[in-house]
């Protein structure tokens, strides 16, 4: 989470004591508490929102205006359905947009690369060598090692189990445990974390999602049951895809 993203999220956020903020909003609020400039901006925004709410809540429409509007609405003749009527066309377009949004929510989002996973990858790349311990074992044999260290659920896809991990660590990212191993022979890191804190959904399950993180690194992500597995590999997106395709051979 950086200042620009936190500001963009908070500008659109309306505080409601009866609604629990989303994980992204919670991260932005936490960032604001540590940033003097963003905290002052957000407090000023809250004050403006409070004044607007108070003003609107105190508005009262005169009875004669309400009566006049009611009479005019009652005098409007009923409209017959006409597919060429501009109003009907507008309603149809609005309905189609509504269906599109629902389709995106239920199908598009699970097919996209989750922003929370991107943030985890960015945080992993900032860690230096200090938290890591040498293991020098195949990636597929490290489940017990992580269990002894307090992380349960580390599971490498069968096609990647053979690659040798040089070192491993359990990283704390936004109070979430993230298991990480380095695979130098592939210029890669394998990452495992629970999907629930950030509600990461991928459809269909066990399918890969890809994204070019920056000019130097590409990401691949999949979800199996409650656990997410991510590959961070130095190079282009095309090279990462070839690596995963080759691993299945």
Residue 126 burial (CB count, 10 A): 8
Q: Which 8-state DSSP code applies to residue 161?
A: T
Distance of CA 32 to the CA centre of its chain: 19
Query: Taking the model in full, what pTM does it have?
Result: 0.57
Average confidence score pLDDT of the chain: 80
- For residues 91-117, average pLDDT: 62
Of 32-41, 71-80, 168-177, 198-207, the least confident: 71-80
pLDDT level of residue 13 (50, 70, 90 thresholds) = low
Chain centre distance of CA 83: 40
Q: Is the pLDDT of residue 218 over 90?
A: yes
Q: Are the C-beta atoms of 133 and 166 separated by less than 8 Å? A: no
Asked if residues 187 and 235 have their Cβ atoms less than 8 Å apart, the reply is yes
The residue length of the chain stands at: 249
DSSP label of 189:
E
Q: Could you tell me if 191 and 231 are in contact, meaning their C-beta atoms sit under 8 angstroms apart?
A: yes
- Contact status, residue 213 vs residue 221, Cβ threshold 8 Å: no
Q: What average pLDDT does range 60-68 have in this prediction?
A: 72
pLDDT bracket for residue 112 (50, 70, 90):
low
Reported as half-sphere exposure (CB side, CA atoms, 13 A), residue 16 has a value of: 8
Break the chain into its structural domains and give their ranges: 3-58, 115-247
Q: Please report the pLDDT score of residue 131 as a whole number.
A: 83
Which pLDDT value is given to residue 142? 95
Average pLDDT over residues 136-159: 93
pLDDT category at 58 given cuts 50, 70, 90 is low
Residue with the bigger pLDDT between 95 and 226: it is 226
Crossing angle of helices 3-11 and 23-33, rounded to 10°? 120
Q: What is the DSSP string of 172-237?
A: EETTEEEEEEEEGGGTEEEEEEESTTTT---SSTT--EEEE-SSSEEEEEEEETTEEEEEEEES-H
């Amino acid at each position: 989470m950086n200042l620009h993203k936190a500001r963009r999220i908070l500008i659109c956020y309306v505080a409601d004591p009866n609604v629990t903020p989303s994980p992204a909003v919670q991260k932005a609020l936490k960032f604001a508490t540590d940033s003097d400039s963003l905290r002052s901006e957000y407090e000023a925004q809250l004050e403006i929102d409070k004044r607007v709410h108070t003003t609107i809540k105190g508005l009262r429409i005169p009875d004669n205006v309400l009566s006049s509007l009611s009479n005019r609405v009652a005098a409007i003749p009923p409209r017959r359905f006409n597919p060429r009527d501009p109003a009907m066309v507008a309603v149809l377009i609005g309905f189609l947009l509504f269906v599109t949004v629902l389709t995106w929510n239920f199908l598009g989002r699970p097919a996209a690369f989750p922003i929370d996973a991107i943030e985890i990858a960015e945080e992993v790349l900032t860690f230096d060598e200090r938290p890591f311990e040498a293991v020098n074992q195949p990636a597929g044999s490290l489940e017990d090692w992580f269990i002894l260290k307090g992380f349960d659920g580390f599971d490498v896809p069968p096609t990647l189990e053979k690659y040798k991990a040089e070192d491993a660590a359990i990283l704390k990212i936004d109070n979430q445990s993230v298991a990480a191993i380095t695979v130098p022979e592939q210029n890669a890191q394998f990452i495992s974390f629970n999907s629930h804190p950030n509600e990461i959904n991928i459809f269909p399950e066990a399918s890969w999602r890809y994204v070019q993180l920056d000019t130097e690194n590409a990401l691949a992500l999949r979800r199996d049951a409650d656990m997410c597995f991510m590959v961070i590999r130095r190079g282009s997106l095309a090279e990462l895809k070839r690596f995963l395709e080759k691993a299945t051979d």
